[in-house]
Structure 1
Amino acid sequence: MGISIRAYARARGVSDTAVRKAIKTGRISAQADGTIDPVQADVQWQGNTDPALQRKAAAPATAKVNPVTSPNSSLPPTAKPNATPVAPTSTAAGISPAGLATGGTSLLQARTANELLKAQTNKVRLARMKGELIERAQAIAQVFRLARTERDAWLNWPGRVSARMAADLNVDAHALHIALDAAVREHLAELGELRPNLD
């Protein structure tokens, strides 16, 4: 008579589901009463299992510990002195400590930058909804139209006022018109050298 499936699974360090699957697929054989001969099963397990497909090496048969006589049997598995501590791979926020120590962008920095970008985007969207912002292209086009309208008004001004001014000053109307037109064009040329800063 052998041992139970669960006992053999504990001895090999695998789940009882893995042992049942091994029996079902024929990698190991069970006795007629459903128990397992551990020595025979170990030989079959080693011979019928591809080492590259194993998750971890099976525990040797000589390493079996009797839970009744073991001095550490009262300790939980995580508290046994031979247990190797596992370093945490993430913090409560889901951030890898290794990522924080590296010189590159960590997950925390990336999340912070993403949140800042969201806040700025929402601020601009809210300002646009309130009518505090307009499109840059629309603003430039509007300024251009206003400047062209003002330029055309100034170019037409000498023709409208030169005759009346000449009569008031008792001078030649044509000569006054030419003088005013030249002065206005010179003034507009000076204004055209100004370049607004749109940045």
Structure 2
Amino acid sequence: MAELITVREFARREQCDEKQVRRGIEKGLLVKDSAGLLDASQVGGPWRKTNRRGRDSAAAKAADTSKNVRTDVRTPDVRTSLTVEDGETIDEAAMRIALATAPFPRAEAERIKENFLALLKKLEFEQKEGSLVEMDVAVRVLFDASRAARDSWLNWPSRVGPLVAADLGLEADRVTEVLTGYVHQHIAQLGEPSADFTGQG
């Protein structure tokens, strides 16, 4: 004779909640008699596996959905340099960092903002003090100084050539011509003026 047990006893033997057992009955996965009792032989049957497959499928769909949502959220690029790079203005650096690393938590965003404001104030102070010179100004000064030195070299043979010729008892034009050739060769070897203002050279 089959052993009949209550829903509570059935749930205890299955080590599950009574609600799960009742849902199994409602779905037709478990059969009860007219008195509301269950055949104990159904304990350990496939009814819970069916429910579990449904839950696993729902969980998998939820995981896929959350994964898709996460891919739409931008995460900070830790490789992005949080400093002003060579040839970059303060505003350009701020824009680059904001685009590459946003969104920041509010506290972190405030910290970065304050750091950039402090850096900007420091640069403005150094510029007004005279210890910081704009790149265009530095390049122009270097070019002007190099051009003045070049012109001085080119004028040197005609100025000292006759003096050297007189000391050596030679023809002035010939000495000046020889000196001019060597000066041109020297200037060609020097090349165009250039300098590394980054401090890394």
For normalisation by structure 1, the TM-score amounts to 0.45
The structure with the largest helix share of the pair is 2
Larger RCO: 1 or 2 (CA < 8 Å, sep 6+): 2
For normalisation by structure 2, the TM-score amounts to 0.45
